Chains A and B, each alone.
Chain A
Amino acid sequence: MSGQSLFPRLEPLLPRVRKPVRYLGGEGNSQVKPWDDALVRWCLMYPDAYEVGLPNQGVQILYEILNEQPDVLAERTYSVWSDLEELLREHGIPQFTVDAHRAVGDFDLLGVSFATELGYTNLLTALDLAGIPLYATDRDERHPIVIAGGHAAFNPEPITAFVDAVVLGDGEQAVLEITDVVRAFKTAARPGGRTELLMRLARRGLVYVPSFYDVDYRPDGRIRAVTPNRPGVPARPAKHTVSNLDAWPYPKAPLVPLAETVHERMSVEIFRGCTRGCRFCQAGMITRPVRERSIDTIGEMVAQGLAASGFTEVGLLSLSSADHTEIGEIAKGLADRYEGTHTSLSLPSTRVDAFNVTLANEFSRNGRRSGLTFAPEGGSERLRRVINKMVSEEDLIRTVSTAYAQGWRQVKLYFMCGLPTETDEDVLAIAGLAREVIRAGRRASGHRDIRCTVSIGGFVPKAHTPFQWAAQASHEVTDARLRLLRDAIRGDREVGRAIGFRYHDGRPGMIEGLLARGDRRVGAVIERVWRDGGRFDGWSEHFSFERWEKACVEVLEPLGVSLDWFTTRERDEREVLPWDHLDSGLDRDWLWSDWQEALRGAELDDCRWTPCYDCGVCPTMGTQTQIGPTGRILLPLVSTGPSRPGGSSGPSGSGSPGRSADAAAS
């Protein structure tokens, strides 16, 4: 019988695995709905270990939106660790959800969120454990529709054999529209079967169905064309854009795990999209335009989320949080509201700007000032112009001086290695920058007890960015430059001991590069690696470069292409890229001209404050930048007396809060 709990069979295995708490479910604000009452049943997956997947905002948002529908049920599943995978196979227990421990294969839809390409092998494990055929072409009416989403899905070509459909962009509305189509299809007794359902979804522009498109290759291995193989489907499936984030204030009730996870806090997304125009940044390119949440909604989500979760920390998320037009008012308002309540606020992703130190001070009024993080990304001014990260050395020194003077003890600086046009000198400039940071910090703080950590990783070119045509630096080049930098920092007698250096081996980046810019032929590499035991490729203890290299030789070279062909080869303007038929709204000609501007070292301003530079997104998608200021402020929360501050979930929809907390004051 479908929908039954597998827990009685799973339970005896749990004492035999590491961290059984990963598989229990029972998180605060999680839901178990009756199977038979639901007409459409979604299983949502984050393809990594529970502790990584649980905090994922995308999954939490969709989970809550779907479960609010009376005739819809949504449960979650995560990758099982290898010890449990072995036991599940031995005992014939399928991949299960953590909510009601139901078999994933029993659901109508399996939605998998890919934040990173390194989750692809884990998708295969889950499908296989679920009893779902690996290839979409082998599935029939008994199997769930497998849908990929998330940022990595903007080039889903390497996994097209394994998924039925792909959703591009924001999922909030898309997931409900897909549900509507599935509901109507099931109510009508599934006319035309699986293909007809996919056709209905494709025709309405909700999803990209890879099997409805054929790829032709040239004799030299490049793609000739990607064309629809049937009438009625869009030539270029487009991304979804939610245009009013205030109407979608999710998650309202964040999941509160019993287990320890990678983020022990709740998150409130304060805006989506970024138009800073950093040329390496896929997230900034594919999530345009900027759409702010208003200060009132942010205040309400923080209050409601804290009351419903008991978390002690709130992260204000976005791609560059200090860019919110009212971030100063938000920071002050929240710091005032929660002063003395042992609630801490954090602002990940801030730019190099002295104003951000002021914000950070606000957020740590009476707390420890341990570390501040900034991301100049490139070591030299020239390279920062190439990547359009407009930070001068002067800005950085001024910013860190302010931070050290105000009691911050440690500054962390993020950089990338292997950026287009980069030379050894560009990377060595990082050592010089770090030296100046320490000198400035010692001057500003008046003592020597300060530190700076340089954290650096290899750059991976991504689809839908100006660098999509660039040659990725080989791991040999990246590793050699990182060694040079390490030696330069360690050899500095004056400041070497005050500078920490953290870097990553360049090899996983090559595989990420293969998967990020690969085409359908790469699917067989993923399958080969998985059959050879590849799992959890984002985990250094599991990742095997040799396994991937071997599979590339075996699978790709007979086709006249290779790992290098996909990664270290620069593409020319006319080459058909594997994702060109997927519409992120960005105008290809603009991307190309921005790539040429990059090579010339020309900077580009943010379109929020300067005229539009025609990236193409707004006219193509019918969207526009939505920013404040609203002129409103956050008032103190009014106490509700001795009763508990709403442990139950708050008001539904975008209705007014129970407390008169967010009144306009302008």
Chain B
Amino acid sequence: MPRRPEGPPPPPVVARVRVRFAKRGRLRFLSHRDVARTFERALRRADVPMAYSAGFSPHPRISWLGAAPTGAASEAEYVELALADHRQPRALGEVLDAALPAGLDVVACAPATATPLAELVDASHWWIRLPGVAPTALAAAVEALLARDLVEVERVTKDGHRRFDARQAVVLMVCRAENDTCAILDTVVRHTTPAVRPDDMLTALCVVAGLRPSVPPEPLRLGQGRLLADGTVADPLMPDRDDAERLVGRIDA
């Protein structure tokens, strides 16, 4: 007979907390799996009373939101933790931050609300530093991109090449200048399937205007959340704003 786990089922979930954390500096090279592994070990070191799944190989109940790609820094990654015991979110955030390596930093920690986290997030705000790219060149490329309705890009996935449109997801795109030789692509992108990532946006700029940075770009996610009427995104850990403020259409820069 196949064995079944003995003993009582795992303790129930009594609370859920949401954590906003940053992925900074050299730790931007962590993949999502690296982040998840490091997080799980930090939760154990910090003695956070996680709730576990049932079965023969129980796992701590952690729900991740779409992660910033390997190589991209972020000020706004989100995760929801299911707890088997009550903890003050603020205190939990502090012990977790102390247990995480420098560069994975807890920014905020709040009790979960009734609305699922995933429903509070539909867009990301990216700030992509482009060393070696003149702002004038980027500005021209952005203009060319926004002039189109559709820009197909190709990405190599493990299932082969995949072609999709990178234009429709772009809500807002602005060229900023750090100096004459370093442009910044400031953009808000709606979360679509597949997700349009920073490298897809750069591919799109290359398709429309031949923009090819000679130095690796430095993408940074500044925020993610619900897209608001003014083109900004609302932090999902902040109290819900009125739904009327949510953006229905699309605005172009």
Contact indicator per residue, chain B 1-17, by CB within 8 Å of chain A (1) or not (0): 11101110000000000
CA distance A312 to B1 in the complex (A): 28
Whether the Cβ atoms of B216 and A12 lie closer than 8 Å is: yes
Stretch at the interface among A15-23, A321-329, A424-432, A471-479: A15-23
Residues of A within 8 A of B216 (CB): 12, 15-16
- Residue contact A24 to B41, C-beta cutoff 8 Å: no
Cβ of B27: which chain A residues have Cβ within 8 Å of it?
24, 26, 258
Tell me if A260 and B34 are in contact (CB < 8 A): yes
A218 at the interface (CB under 8 A from B): no
Q: Is the CB of A258 within 8 A of B98?
A: no
A177 to B102, CA, bound (A): 35
Whether B83 sits at the interface, judged by CB under 8 Å, is no
Is B101 within 8 A of A310, CB to CB?
no
Q: Which of B44-52, B115-123, B164-172, B227-235 contacts A (4 or more CB under 8 A)?
A: B44-52
Which residues from chain B contact A258 at a C-beta distance below 8 Å?
Answer: 27, 30, 34, 37-38, 101
In the bound assembly, the distance between CA atoms of A308 and B26 in angstroms comes to 23
Q: Are B26 and A310 in contact (CB under 8 A)?
A: no
Q: What CA separation (Å) do A446 and B1 show in the bound complex?
A: 8
Report the Cα distance A407→B43, complex, angstroms.
Answer: 32
Report the contact-size class of chain A (Cβ under 8 Å from the partner): 35 or more
- Name which of B2, B29, B52 has the most chain A CB atoms within 10 A of its CB: B29
Would you call B148 an interface residue if the criterion is a C-beta within 8 Å of the partner chain's C-beta atoms? no
B26 CB contact (under 8 Å) in A24, A28, A365, A644:
A24
- Tell whether, in the assembled complex, residue A310 and residue B34 are in contact, meaning their CB atoms are under 8 Å apart: no
Q: A365 CA to B56 CA in the complex, in Å? A: 10
B-contact bits for A295-317, CB 8 A (1 contact / 0 none): 00000000000111111100000
Chain B CB within 10 A, most for which of A256, A306, A310, A367: A310
Interface centre among B3, B31, B33 (most CB of A within 10 A): B3
Question: Is the CB–CB distance between A312 and B44 below 8 Å?
Answer: yes
Among candidates B52, B57, B99, residue contacting A368 with C-beta atoms closer than 8 Å: B57
User: Does residue B194 face the partner (Cβ distance < 8 Å to A)?
Assistant: no
| Contact status of A647 and B45, CB under 8 A, knowing A11-B26, A367-B56, A367-B57 | yes
Q: Separation in Å of the A647 CB from the closest CB of chain B?
A: 5
Residue of B nearest to A15 (CB): B216
Which residue on B lies nearest to A447, using beta carbons? Answer: B1
Closest residue of chain B to A307 (Cβ to Cβ) is B45
Complex Cα spacing A647 to B6, Å: 31
Interface residues of B (CB under 8 A from A): 1-3, 5-7, 26-27, 29-31, 33-34, 37-38, 40-47, 52, 56-58, 60, 70-71, 95, 98-99, 101-103, 215-216
The chain A residues found within 8 Å of chain B, CB to CB, are 7, 11-12, 14-16, 20-21, 24, 26, 28, 256, 258-260, 264, 306-312, 342, 365-369, 407, 446-447, 644-645, 647
29 CB < 8 A contacts A-B: A12-B215, A12-B216, A15-B29, A21-B70, A24-B26, A24-B27, A24-B30, A26-B26, A26-B101, A26-B102, A26-B103, A28-B101, A256-B38, A258-B34, A258-B38, A258-B101, A259-B34, A264-B37, A309-B41, A309-B45, A310-B99, A312-B40, A365-B6, A366-B6, A369-B3, A407-B3, A644-B45, A644-B46, A644-B95
Other 6 A-B pairs with CB < 8 A, given A311-B44, A367-B5: A12-B215, A310-B42, A310-B99, A366-B6, A644-B47, A645-B47
